Homo-oligomer: A and B are copies of this chain.
Amino acid sequence: MYDLVQPRNRIPANTESVDDYLKAILELGGPEEARVTSNALAQHLGVRAASVTGMLQKLALQKPSYVKYEKHHGVRLAPAGKMRALEILRHHRLLERYLHDFLDYSWDEVHDDAERLEHFISERLEDRIAAKLGYPETDPHGHLIPERNGALPPRQEVLLSKWACGVPAVVSSVSDRDSSALREMERLGLRPGVGIKVEAGTRGATVLVRIGSGVEPVRLSERLAAGISVLAGPAPAR
């Protein structure tokens, strides 16, 4: 009787868990692809640091290796891992765009469902969704969607909290992980593409901003401000 078991799996296992780790390393490493600590991963993924260590060791042993991991010194994506992470990220952002544009989800509703489905999107489905959307460049929160081959154009985004006072900027993207913050932003008219200017008057970690052509400056809580990224804005209208 034949064995149903696979013959010695050296081929990378693409479990949901592996996907989640790779995507987290991609996101936490940022565009500079900095090393990511076990603690940061643990917090991002909602697991204990010890569990992270175990998984990183496994990922490093894959052939081809998914990550470059040096004990006690954090982890970076290896090419194979980066490729996979970008694929998942592409799925996630395409799904968000699709749920929003074709299935009437609001922008604070898309994240959770996209997060669950992203692991199970076939090449075919990915292609059909992209085609229906007309090969979009961004998701509803302004994040760039990686291309099919993994290409992700760099962008000089900066967190709003790091932006200089008085310099006009444009909202480039907002975090999709906090849906109540998204509803609040919606209410304030804070959307990707909208102009924004930081006013003098920072108190604690809150930020005072003028949004779009708004007359009244608005004070953003730390939580809200932390989710907003901006780019150099248009020359101020005169």
Contact = CB atoms under 8 A, between A and B. Distances in A.
B104 A128 contact: yes
Interface in A86-141: 99, 102-105, 109, 112-113, 116-117, 120, 122, 124-125, 128-129, 132
Given A103-B125, A109-B124, A128-B105, A47 B4 contact: yes
B122 A120 contact: no
Contacts of A47: 4
A48 interface: yes
A52 to B, nearest CB: 13
Contacts of A154: none
B116 A132 contact: no
Interface in A134-180: none
Nearest to A127: B103
23 contacts: A4-B46, A4-B47, A4-B48, A99-B125, A102-B102, A102-B132, A103-B125, A103-B128, A103-B129, A103-B132, A104-B128, A105-B124, A105-B128, A109-B124, A112-B122, A113-B122, A113-B124, A113-B125, A116-B120, A116-B122, A117-B117, A117-B120, A120-B120
Interface of A: 4, 46-48, 99, 102-105, 109, 112-113, 116-117, 120, 122, 124-125, 128-129, 132
